[in-house]
């Protein structure tokens, strides 16, 4: 009898042993018998260590490590990863230590377990710092061994699968953290299957009602689309056979969270989103991918501008595929992905698809090489500030939307969408970023804050003795650039910071047709007392070090405005924007921000600080002047009303305007203005300007309107 079979036969019968039996049976498919035996020993060690411990669901605690190991077994990981999964909570929750694990199972397993463990033994100022420091330690351990993050992701995935036993507030916190950190990391490492499940589970716990509605309606739409999908599959399959191409064509499953994101981003209804049919063609060889592309383009007309070649230029996580969108039968959109078998495996499992931890060799696939390159950048940034700053830098770096630009030598650099020439300079090298004084795009000199677009060739102009400009921090988007600039600012000598801050404040006052000499002493002293500073030099240093924004301080130092002068659109009543005491505040009429919208402040001549929503469509032009942008946030517990514009599509009936208006009034919202635009004989569009307290109040108004039988659709209007 083989070792693995012998182990299975020796395990007692009973429900509590079913999971480990199933795990060992699955491991026999890709692990030799001696390694399966070591995994069993790790299970016994973990079961003994967790003896008597139970999960909140009432199950024995060892069921969780076994489930985590099962997730990694699906990815065909090595036995050391499986052992670490079975032991990942031993250091944290039992009396066993790292040295004991190293003695029993080797240094590699001990290092992985230690990297995953939290830092409960240390004292932190708050929960956010503890979370950030724990994540920082884990990420640095990942830089040594990528398997640490794979175990952590599997741990988080099983916790998300069993999140229902926790209280609602804790579920929400864990789900948000998963959506902001762990799902993007899975995407960064190319593990598509894990990312999709993490996102959908997070969505389910963050917005349970929205999730249920989407899930229910999606099942209906899939049923309605079955015949169309079947017809397209048959047509494409026959065309490939005629061309002599051997491959498999499948319909792609809908990803609930991605559908939800697309609905929000494009402001479309569910029916408009799910009417796009998705297919995947998996063939042999890169040449065959391009031949297949030709076949489907001959079969259905391609949509202009909707083709992406991720084979020639892979994504940051190593993902490769051809993407094209076609006009299908009756004009329905068809999205087709074309890739090889290896590309398909990489797309699903990412860095775990080509695990090469054999004979001490730790050189992985191209996906692993890209992952290591990213992790090395994270290690470079980890000394630039506090743990919370580091975690924020990681968050910034995880957003997947990219632009692809070329160096003068023809090398490709991948940067986040919205990246500038300064981000490009720091991506080349930190020293290049620190010494850059100008940039050339397509051989033409441009400002350093110029946004980069796909396919551009970028060259950085440097000068000896040049230093980073603190104003760059207002427009750079990459974590590396932010960290480098922050490091430079923190290392400035105090005298330099004072001189720099005074110069920046002088410029901001000049922009307001004022000077530093004209600032009254009592006004300066009142500002210093309000900011708890002892002298003007301290104020200049705060500005020079980037802790305070010169435009905002300049506004505080300006003389009081004439109260008799009219101030259109200004804020009245209690303070709504944190830290803007004494400033003229206006709310943009293009997007009508309300709490808790994400907002930005724009310094406008004659209007003061104008508050826009981050999602406002007019921000593209304003962002070309980064020195006038100020990060702002809402005050807590605001008690005032805000204007917001909504659009209601209704069926033309007698009294429908009165009925909708009454419904809005019943939701305790005042109507300031209403317009009626007739679209056709049957339907009309009503545009209301109403007053609400916050986003929650607006949602109540919209739910009340949406429930009316004569209302087809109700939505908020934003530029």
**The residue to which tokens 């830290």 are assigned:** 579
Does any domain span residue 573? no
Write the CATH number for 413: 3.10.20.30
Q: What is the pLDDT of residue 321?
A: 92
Based on the domain organization, do 36 and 177 belong to the same domain? yes
Which residues lie below 8 Å from residue 75, measured CB to CB, with a gap of 6+? 150, 191, 349, 352, 353
Q: Which residues contact 232 (CB under 8 A, 6 or more apart)?
A: 277, 279, 328, 329, 334
**In a domain? residue 338:** yes
Q: What CATH number does residue 107 fall under?
A: 1.10.3210.10
- Per-residue H/E/C for 98-151: HHHHHHHHCHHHHHHHHHHCCCCCCCCCCHHHHHHHHHHHHHHHHHHCCHHHHH
Report the distance separating Cα 47 and Cα 510, nearest Å.
Answer: 71
What's the confidence (pLDDT) of residue 142? 65
> Which pTM does this prediction carry?
0.54
* Three-state SS at 338: strand
Helix (H) or strand (E) holding 446: strand 444-446
Cα angle: 247, vertex 248, 249; to 5 degrees? 125
Residues 478 and 499 in one domain: no
Q: Using the 3D structure, point to which of 451, 470, 490 is the last residue of a domain.
A: 490
The SS3 of residue 217 is: helix
Say if 538 falls within a structural domain. Answer: yes
With tokens 């989103």, the residue in question is 273
CA distances from 430 to 283, 417, 468 (A): 42, 20, 11
Dmax of the chain from CA atoms? 97
Is the peptide bond prior to 486 cis by the omega test (within 30 degrees of 0)? no
Q: Which of 329, 351, 373 is the last residue of a domain?
A: 351
Does 520 lie in the same domain as 407? no
Q: Is residue 175 a contact partner of residue 201, using CB atoms and an 8 Å limit?
A: yes
pLDDT in the model for residue 492: 61
Q: Is residue 437 part of a domain?
A: yes
Q: Tokens 């902001």 label which residue? A: 180
Domain CATH for 646: 3.30.70.260
- What mean pLDDT is reported for the chain? 80
If asked whether residues 326 and 304 sit together in one domain, one would say yes
Measure the CA–CA gap between 354 and 516, rounded to whole angstroms. Answer: 63
Domain of residue 289, CATH code? 3.30.460.10
**Active-site annotation, residues:** 92-93
Residues 107 and 178 in one domain: yes
Residue 269 Ramachandran class (φ > 0 left, ψ -120 to 50 alpha, else beta): beta
Place of tokens 């008597």: 52
Query: Are 332 and 219 found together in one domain?
Result: yes
Number of domains into which the chain is organized: 5
Q: Residue written as tokens 């009936």?
A: 653
Tens of pLDDT along 113-134? 888 875 444 444 455 555 566 6
What pLDDT was estimated at residue 565?
43
Same domain, residue pair 512 and 473: no
Enclosing domain of residue 56: 3-208
Residue at 18 is within a domain: yes
Write down the H helix ranges in 382-474.
387-398, 421-428, 430-435
Q: Work out the angle at residue 175's Cα, subtended by the Cα atoms of residues 208 and 159, and round it to the nearest 5 degrees.
A: 105
d(CA 420, CA 472): 10
3-class SS shares of the chain: helix, strand, coil, % to 5: 50, 15, 30
Domain's final residue, options 170, 186, 208: 208
Cβ distance 148 to 142 under 8 Å?
A: yes
pLDDT of residue 436: 92
Q: Is 121 exposed, middle or buried (0-12, 13-18, 19+ CB in 10 A)?
A: exposed
Q: Are 299 and 238 in contact (CB under 8 A)?
A: no
> Quick check: is 364 in a domain?
no
Asked whether residue 320 falls in the same domain as residue 448, the answer is no
- Spatial distance between the Cα atoms of 197 and 202, rounded to a whole number of angstroms: 8
> What HEC string does 175-231 produce?
HHHHHHHHHHHHHHCCCHHHHHHHHHHHHHHHCHHHHHHHHHHHHHHHHHHHHHHHH
Helix (H, G, I), strand (E, B) or coil at 375: helix
- Residue 534 sits at φ, ψ, to 5 deg, of -95, -25
Question: Is 78 within 8 Å of 72 (Cβ atoms)?
Answer: no
Rounded to whole angstroms, the Cα distance separating 248 from 282 reads: 5
pLDDT digits (tens, 9 = 90+) for 446-504: 889 899 987 788 999 998 888 888 888 888 888 788 888 877 776 665 667 788 888 88
Q: Tell me: do 187 and 230 sit in the same domain.
A: no
Q: Which residues of the chain have pLDDT under 50?
A: 1-2, 119-125, 354-364, 399-400, 562-574
Instruction: State which H helix or E strand residue 588 sits in.
Output: none
> Which residues on adjacent β-strands are paired with residue 612?
600
pLDDT of residue 646: 92
Reference 279, options 259, 255, 309, 249; nearest CA is 249
3-state secondary structure of 62: coil
DSSP-assigned states of every residue in 279-336: EEEEESSHHHHHHHHHHHHHHSEEPTT--EETTTS--TT----EEEEEE-GGG-EEEE
Please report whether residue 699 resides in a domain: yes
Distances (CA, A) of 348 to 72, 160, 365, 649: 13, 19, 14, 42
CA atoms within 13 A on the CB side of 334: 27
Alpha-carbon span 31 to 7, nearest angstrom? 14
- 599: phi then psi, degrees, rounded to nearest 5: -130, 160
Sequence length of the chain is 719
**Which two three-digit tokens encode residue 658?**
């009165």
Instruction: Report the chain's terminal Cα–Cα distance, integer Å.
Output: 72
Do 222 and 91 have their domain in common?
Answer: no
Residue pair 445/383 in contact (Cβ under 8 Å)? The answer is: no
User: What is the rounded CA–CA span in Å between residue 22 and residue 45?
Assistant: 18
Tell whether 620 is covered by a domain.
Answer: no
Cα–Cα distance measured from residue 612 to residue 422, given in angstroms and rounded to the nearest whole number? 25
Q: Return the exposure string of 324-356: e unless at least 16 CB atoms fall within 10 Å of the residue's CB, then b.
A: bbbebeeeeebbbbbbbebbbbbbbbbbbbbbe
Please name which of 183, 220, 490, 452 lies closest in space to residue 317, comparing C-alpha atoms: 183
Q: Are residues 335 and 418 in the same domain?
A: no
Query: 464-489: string of b/e by CB count within 10 Å (b at 16+)?
Result: eeeebebbbbbbbbbbbbbbbbbbbb
- Secondary element (H or E) of residue 479: helix 479-491
d(CA 236, CA 249): 8
Closest CA to 466 of 438, 494, 439: 438
Same domain (yes/no): 43, 164: yes
Give me the pLDDT at residue 124, please: 46
């Amino acid at each position: 009898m083989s070792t693995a079979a012998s182990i299975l036969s020796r395990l007692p019968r009973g429900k509590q042993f079913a999971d480990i039996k199933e795990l060992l049976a699955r491991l026999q498919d890709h692990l030799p018998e001696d390694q399966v035996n070591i995994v069993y020993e790790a299970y016994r060690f973990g079961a003994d260590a967790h003896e008597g411990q139970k999960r909140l669901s009432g199950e024995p605690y060892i069921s969780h490590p076994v489930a985590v190991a099962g997730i990694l077994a699906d990815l065909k990981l090595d036995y050391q990863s499986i052992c670490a999964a079975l032991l990942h909570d031993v250091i944290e929750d039992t009396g066993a230590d790292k040295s004991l694990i190293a003695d029993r199972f080797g240094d590699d397993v001990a290092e992985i377990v230690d990297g995953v463990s939290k830092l409960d033994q240390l004292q932190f100022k708050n929960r956010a710092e503890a979370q950030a420091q724990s994540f920082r330690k884990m990420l640095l351990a990942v830089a040594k061994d990528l398997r640490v993050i794979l175990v952590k992701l599997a741990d988080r995935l099983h916790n998300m699968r069993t999140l229902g036993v926790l209280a609602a507030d804790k579920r929400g916190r864990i789900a948000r953290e998963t959506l902001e950190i762990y799902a993007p990391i899975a995407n960064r490492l190319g593990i598509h299957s894990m990312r999709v499940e993490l996102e959908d589970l997070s969505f389910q716990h963050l917005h349970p009602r929205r999730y249920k509605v989407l899930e229910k309606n999606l099942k209906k739409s899939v049923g309605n689309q079955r015949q169309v999908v079947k017809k397209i599959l048959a047509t494409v399959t026959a065309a490939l056979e005629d061309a002599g191409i051997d491959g498999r064509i499948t319909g792609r499953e809908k990803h609930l969270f991605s559908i939800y994101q697309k609905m929000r981003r494009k402001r479309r209804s569910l029916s408009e989103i799910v009417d796009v049919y998705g297919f995947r063609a998996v063939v042999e060889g890169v040449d065959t991918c391009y031949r297949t592309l030709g076949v489907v383009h001959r079969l259905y007309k391609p949509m202009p501008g909707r083709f992406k070649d991720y084979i020639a230029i892979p994504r940051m996580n190593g993902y490769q595929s051809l993407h094209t969108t076609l006009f299908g039968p009756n004009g329905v959109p068809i999205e087709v992905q074309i890739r090889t078998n290896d590309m398909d495996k990489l797309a699903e499992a990412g860095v775990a698809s080509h695990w090469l931890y054999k004979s001490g060799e730790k050189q992985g696939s191209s996906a692993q090489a890209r992952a290591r390159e990213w992790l090395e950048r994270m290690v470079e940034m980890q000394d630039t500030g506090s743990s919370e700053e580091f975690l924020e830098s990681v968050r910034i770096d995880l957003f997947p939307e990219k632009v692809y630009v070329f160096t003068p030598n023809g090398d490709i650099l991948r940067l986040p969408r919205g990246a500038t020439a300064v981000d490009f300079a720091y991506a080349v090298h930190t020293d290049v970023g620190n010494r850059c004084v100008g940039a050339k795009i397509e051989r033409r000199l441009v400002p350093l804050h110029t946004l980069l677009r796909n396919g551009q060739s970028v060259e950085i102009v440097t000068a000896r003795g040049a230093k980073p400009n603190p104003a760059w921090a207002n427009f750079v988007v990459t974590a590396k650039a932010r960290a480098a600039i922050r490091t430079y600012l923190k290392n400035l000598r105090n005298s330099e910071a004072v001189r720099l801050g005074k110069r920046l404040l002088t410029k901001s006052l000049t922009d307001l047709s004022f000077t530093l000499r004209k600032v009254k002493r009592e006004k300066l002293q009142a500002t210093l007392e309000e900011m708890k500073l002892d002298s003007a030099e301290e104020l200049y240093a705060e500005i020079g070090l980037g802790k305070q924004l010169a435009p905002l301080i300049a506004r505080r130092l300006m003389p009081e405005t004439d109260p008799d002068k009219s101030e259109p659109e200004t804020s009245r009543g209690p303070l709504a924007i944190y830290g803007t005491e004494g400033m003229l505040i206006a709310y943009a009429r293009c997007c009508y921000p309300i709490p808790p919208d994400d907002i930005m402040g724009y310094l406008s001549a004659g209007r003061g600080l104008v508050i826009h929503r981050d999602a406002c469509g007019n921000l593209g032009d304003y962002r070309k002047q980064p020195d006038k942008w100020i990060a702002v946030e809402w005050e807590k517990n605001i008690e005032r009303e805000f204007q917001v514009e909504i659009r209601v599509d209704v069926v033309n009936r007698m009294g429908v305007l009165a009925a909708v208006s009454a419904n809005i009034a019943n939701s305790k919202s005042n109507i300031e203005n209403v317009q009626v635009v007739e679209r056709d004989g049957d339907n009309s569009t009503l545009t209301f300007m109403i007053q609400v307290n916050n986003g929650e109040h607006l949602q109540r108004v919209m739910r009340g309107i949406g429930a009316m039988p004569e209302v087809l659709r109700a939505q908020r209007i934003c530029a």
